């Protein structure tokens, strides 16, 4: 059932603390005091994202304070975007809906209609309340969690954004990549091949130059929502965020020359040097596996740390889905894919959904109203290689518009009754993958296959295909109106 619509103006906020006040006002913020940074924060986060312990549409946002070994006020936040209301607040949607496909439609319209607004440079901001430079830099003062039991160490960057600039073209990227603490002045950061931040870093290293880097680990949740998605190459997430908010994002220029969110909670500035590597990983990833083991990865030598009084680290630890990232990622990714496939010229798309069970990348469904022979296959193939779906995809399923694509029962039923594997499936080989993919052996890392499943009725038999056994809409409504309350309230006799 849809929640009563709210006007977008009700959801305006200037920073993470304003956002938390709004969330608390709706009863979706839970404060947890006294938890241990070592494993407890991660375990609590994971437990309370599971539907058996909390309704899937109202998973709580958790603010940890008085963390073991750290002073009160040094906080960690998790579960940020795992409810429909919090996504609506973050994106300024005109309406909140607990209907998953309606939420995708609302987000897609927001993205389609939002322009791009350049960030605005300001001289100062709340993030400058405390500044540690040189010998004063000490990352150990912050309550960085060990999120999973088999992680190699403490990861300050899970809900973070890593900020880099293309050395040739000058545009700025904000990407959500994992960041670990090696020691009090050194970070390690892993970026998958092909990601924009990785391309920037590789360009610097190829020319023998250090790569300037800023890591923000507490900020507007909109940056987290965008940082893990496929914003177009050459376009800064600052501009997209500004368009969504319909106002410029305030930034300050850091010591690296990179723009820093003026209202961030905690930012770390430094540079990565070519050839300077330290062991990074393993880390429990979004696939639900320790898929990438450990290897030497570049490090960031920290030059300066800026943070607000009583700073908040924004955590988004991945794990076996459903997890705190799978719901918002499924929603926004589906919205972006829908727009991209539509731009590719595919007509009559009735819905796109990226299922949480597939870790928001591995199982994507598109519904169409079939208009011509080959339409179904065209839609699935276009989806499989569009920008927002190309990285580490696995299964793309195309169904008719009578299928509820948010229901795995409905989708699997369509696959089982409308797909003859001999004619209804295609395999695409040597597609874009990465080291996080657990099924790909080491020697083939970087490539994977895609299964295209045509679970539509054959176009040439649309009119003659076996009729579905179902209650008509009119009879369904009549039975609900006449019998629902009587039967629901009756006893066993």
Q: How far is CA 279 from CA 153, 175, 270, in A?
A: 11, 21, 19
Counting Cα atoms < 13 Å in the Cβ hemisphere of 364 gives: 37
| 3-class SS of residue 74 | coil
Q: Which two tokens stand for residue 391?
A: 């990285």
Per-block average pLDDT, block size 10, for the chain (493 residues)? Answer: 36 88 93 96 88 72 96 96 90 79 89 92 97 96 95 95 97 96 96 93 97 97 91 93 94 97 98 96 85 88 98 92 79 91 95 88 95 96 93 94 94 96 94 86 86 95 91 91 82 56
| 3-class SS of residue 63 | strand
Give the whole-angstrom CA distance, residue 395 versus residue 91.
Answer: 28
Q: Which two tokens stand for residue 333?
A: 């990714």
Q: Are 161 and 223 in contact (CB under 8 A)?
A: yes
Please determine, looking at this structure, whether the domain spanning 344-461 carries the CATH number 3.40.50.150: no
Tell whether omega for the bond before 282 is within 30 degrees of 0, i.e. cis: yes
**Which sign does the torsion angle of CA 225, 227, 232, 237 carry?**
positive
Per-residue pLDDT, 4 = 34
DSSP letter assigned to residue 83? S
Give domain 1-320's CATH number out of 2.102.10.10, 1.10.3720.10, 3.60.10.10, 2.30.110.10: 2.30.110.10
Q: Are 150 and 203 in contact (CB under 8 A)?
A: no
Q: Domains of the chain: which residue ranges? A: 1-320, 344-461
Instruction: Supply the pTM of this predicted model.
Output: 0.86
Give the whole-angstrom CA distance, residue 429 versus residue 448.
Answer: 6
β-pair partners for 211: 272
Burial of 116 (0-12, 13-18, 19+ CB in 10 A): middle
| 3-class SS of residue 461 | helix
């Amino acid at each position: 059932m849809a929640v009563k619509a709210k006007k977008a103006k009700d959801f305006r906020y200037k920073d993470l603390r304003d956002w938390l006040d709004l969330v608390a006002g709706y009863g979706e913020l839970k404060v947890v005091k006294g938890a241990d940074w070592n494993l407890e924060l991660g375990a609590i986060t994971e437990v309370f994202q599971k539907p058996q312990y909390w309704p899937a549409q109202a998973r709580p946002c958790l603010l940890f304070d008085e963390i073991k070994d750290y002073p009160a006020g040094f906080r960690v936040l998790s579960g940020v975007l795992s409810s429909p209301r919090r996504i609506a607040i973050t994106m300024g949607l005109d309406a909140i809906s607990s209907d998953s496909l309606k939420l995708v439609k609302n987000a897609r319209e927001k993205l389609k209609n939002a322009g791009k607004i350049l960030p605005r440079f300001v001289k100062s901001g709340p993030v400058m309340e405390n500044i540690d430079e040189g010998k004063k830099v000490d990352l150990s003062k912050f309550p960085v969690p060990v999120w999973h039991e088999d992680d190699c160490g403490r990861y300050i960057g899970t809900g973070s954004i890593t900020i880099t600039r293309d050395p040739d073209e000058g545009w700025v990227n904000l990407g959500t990549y994992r960041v670990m603490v090696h020691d009090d002045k050194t970070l390690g950061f892993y970026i998958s091949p092909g990601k924009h931040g990785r391309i920037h870093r590789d360009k610097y290293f190829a020319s023998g130059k250090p790569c300037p880097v800023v890591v923000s680990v507490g900020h507007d949740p909109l940056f987290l929502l965008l940082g893990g998605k496929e914003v177009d190459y050459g376009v800064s997430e600052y501009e997209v965020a500004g368009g969504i908010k319909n106002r410029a994002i305030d930034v300050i220029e850091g010591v690296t020359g990179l723009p820093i969110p003026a209202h961030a909670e905690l930012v770390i500035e430094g540079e990565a040097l070519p050839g300077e590597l330290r062991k990074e990983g393993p880390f429990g990833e979004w696939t639900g596996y320790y898929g990438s083991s450990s290897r030497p990865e570049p490090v960031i030598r920290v030059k300066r740390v800026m943070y607000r009084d009583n700073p908040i680290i924004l955590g988004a630890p991945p794990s076996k889905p459903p997890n705190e990232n799978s719901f918002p990622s499924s929603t926004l990714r589906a919205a972006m894919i829908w727009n991209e496939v539509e731009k590719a010229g595919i007509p009559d798309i009735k819905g796109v959904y990226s299922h949480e069970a597939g870790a928001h990348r591995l199982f994507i469904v598109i519904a169409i109203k079939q208009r011509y022979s080959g339409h179904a296959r065209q839609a699935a193939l276009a989806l499989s290689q569009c920008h927002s779906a190309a990285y580490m995809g696995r299964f793309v399923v195309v169904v008719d518009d009578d299928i509820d694509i948010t229901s795995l029962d409905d989708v699997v039923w369509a696959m089982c009754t409308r797909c003859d594997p001999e004619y209804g499936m295609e395999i695409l080989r040597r597609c874009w993958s990465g080291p996080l993919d657990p099924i790909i052996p080491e020697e083939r890392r970087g490539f994977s296959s895609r299964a295209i499943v045509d679970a539509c009725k054959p176009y040439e038999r649309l009119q003659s295909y076996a009729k579905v056994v179902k209650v008509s809409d009119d009879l369904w409504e009549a039975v609900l109106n006449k019998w629902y309350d009587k039967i629901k309230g009756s006893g066993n006799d």
